[in-house]
Structure 1
């Protein structure tokens, strides 16, 4: 008899474990969060596009974040909203849709790091080398940085998911409200040593380069501000950089926590809630 679970093209999502009385409030929370994210991020992009005074490298690079937020949240939240209204037995997703969703969610997370890195570089040049800022941060350089941020993320995530889709599957349950790489390769009964090695290397390299670039640039910015007696310049630098740093730290903390919780099955409920909540709160 053929085993229907072997390389099945239909997968079962575990979904969020929510009491029946709480489904409607949770649905409204995610719905209004998604609408808020769309309105806020689209508004930012339109404002930068319309106001020619904002056609500066800093604002153009910043536009990558709202575009990435719209992309990432649109991949996850609409599907999550529809699944909240379904009984557990109907939480089905095709394998190909699951792979696409996993690719997009990881691209969203990785691009968040790479975009914040190029924004840190922009602030470094603006504060530490202001006289050459316009010569360095040309439109061509902004385009190169943007393509690099998205291109590097695309390649890294492409290899990550490529290693997963090569595996045969003997399970069908995705232990998550949406698909990600770890949930996908857990469906396999084959050895996933290569996946774990690449996934760990990918994470360590991304976080090391990300944290290293942020620490290096902000250390140099701090040293320049301490040696500069211009209070107006220092105040402007502090406001710009502190906001950027807070966003980065929140994203870094959530990313590390999600990865850590994947290693502890007993905390699966907390793991499922965390990415859904963090995704819906990114625009804030």
Structure 2
């Protein structure tokens, strides 16, 4: 009964339960993954920011995706690396709430940003003559502001509803903090939280995904109706890139939700699926866009070749 009514500010996480032989490989994997995410996303951000030719609506919206990926991965990896190194499974409640908040900001933000990108491609391909008139700098800034504002309002309300409830447990049955795991610490009626959580899922899945699927359906129809093969090929390539990122996020998110509901699933598999949403999209998104988007690929190659030649002049050996 003592643990049931524990209101300590220190929480205990279930953790990964690593053996002594697994600590070093797990530390190397987590550190390398975080370094790759930081490097790839920062390269994408700097490429867009430093090249004026990329200051176009599509790339200005795209710029928010690596920023969002860095928020999600930074919310997870430092805590995971610290846990692996120190073998401690405790965390301050305030730090746990902060981690959960930013992880949810990342998840919802990814859907909103991909929706905004789908809207931009819809205007560009289906209404090309009106594109410059519609997608002005002011309109782009309005879209980006609304993406982050809606994200912060929806998640702010989610955590306001959470923090108003009394907490009487201290065990987080997950490898990191999120809203469902924090709700398990509450000893009160969580009906309002559950309803609002379902409402948030409905907004992201029905509205966001519905808009994405509708816009890309219209884009595909417009592409197949186009008589210019080069325009059609470029449009399809751009859409394929966006859809790859979208499907990657959705599949991992869906697997994560399902893993929470399946009691018979292996705990290790559940933990892996839980962290995969915060590992694979942030790692693959900048690589996918860097490889598939010609303008970005050319600028990245030019940047690194320039740096390579510069270093050779200084150190010619």
Category of TM-score, reference length = shorter chain: over 0.9
Distance (whole Å) between structure 2 residues aligned to residue 27 and residue 119 of structure 1: 35
Q: Deviations over 1:163-214 (max 9, x none)?
A: 1111112210111111100000101121222221211221122101122101
- Does residue 240 of structure 2 align to residue 238 of structure 1? no
- Aligned equivalent of 1:191, options 170, 186, 189: 189
- Does residue 217 of structure 2 align to residue 225 of structure 1? no
Distance (whole Å) between structure 2 residues aligned to residue 281 and residue 124 of structure 1: 27
Q: Deviations over 1:108-134 (max 9, x none)?
A: 000000000000000000001111111
TM-score with structure 2 setting the length: 0.85
Residue in 2 aligned with 1:273?
A: 272
1:3 deviates by: 7.2
Residue in 2 aligned with 1:214?
A: 212
TM-score with structure 1 setting the length: 0.94
Distance (whole Å) between structure 2 residues aligned to residue 113 and residue 274 of structure 1: 19
Contact 1:103–1:161 (8 Å) recurs in 2: yes
Residue in 1 aligned with 2:18?
A: 18
Residue in 2 aligned with 1:167?
A: 165
- Aligned equivalent of 2:124, options 123, 126, 133: 126
Spell out structure 1 runs of 4+ moving beyond 4 A.
Answer: 1-5
Helix, strand or coil at the partner of 1:12: strand
Distance (whole Å) between structure 2 residues aligned to residue 3 and residue 56 of structure 1: 56
1:265 deviates by: 4.4
Gaps of 5+ in 1: none
- Aligned equivalent of 1:147, options 136, 145, 148: 145
Helix, strand or coil at the partner of 1:279: coil
Mapping of residues 47-66 of structure 1, within 5 Å: 47-66=47-66
Deviates more, 1:204-213 or 1:110-119: 204-213
Deviates more, 1:196-205 or 1:66-75: 196-205
Distance (whole Å) between structure 1 residues aligned to residue 69 and residue 209 of structure 2: 21
Residue in 2 aligned with 1:36?
A: 36
1:151 deviates by: 0.9
Distance 1:4 1:134, change over 3 A: same
Distance (whole Å) between structure 1 residues aligned to residue 180 and residue 122 of structure 2: 36
Residue in 1 aligned with 2:80?
A: 80
Distance 1:8 1:134, change over 3 A: same
Residue in 2 aligned with 1:46?
A: 46
Contact 2:3–2:169 (8 Å) recurs in 1: no
Contact 1:30–1:280 (8 Å) recurs in 2: no
Distance 1:250 1:80, change over 3 A: same
Kindly report the root-mean-square deviation, in angstroms, between the aligned alpha carbons of the 2 structures: 1.7
Deviates more, 1:70-79 or 1:189-198: 189-198
Q: Deviations over 1:224-280 (max 9, x none)?
A: 111111100010011111010011011111112212222334434322221322312
Distance (whole Å) between structure 2 residues aligned to residue 34 and residue 154 of structure 1: 25
1:4 deviates by: 8.7
Helix, strand or coil at the partner of 1:85: helix
1:97 deviates by: 1.0
| Number of aligned residue pairs | 282
Distance 1:73 1:3, change over 3 A: closer
- Aligned equivalent of 1:99, options 97, 100, 116: 97
Distance (whole Å) between structure 2 residues aligned to residue 275 and residue 93 of structure 1: 18
Helix, strand or coil at the partner of 1:21: coil
Q: Deviations over 1:124-150 (max 9, x none)?
A: 000011111111111111111111111
Gaps of 5+ in 2: 285-317
Deviates more, 1:1-10 or 1:121-130: 1-10
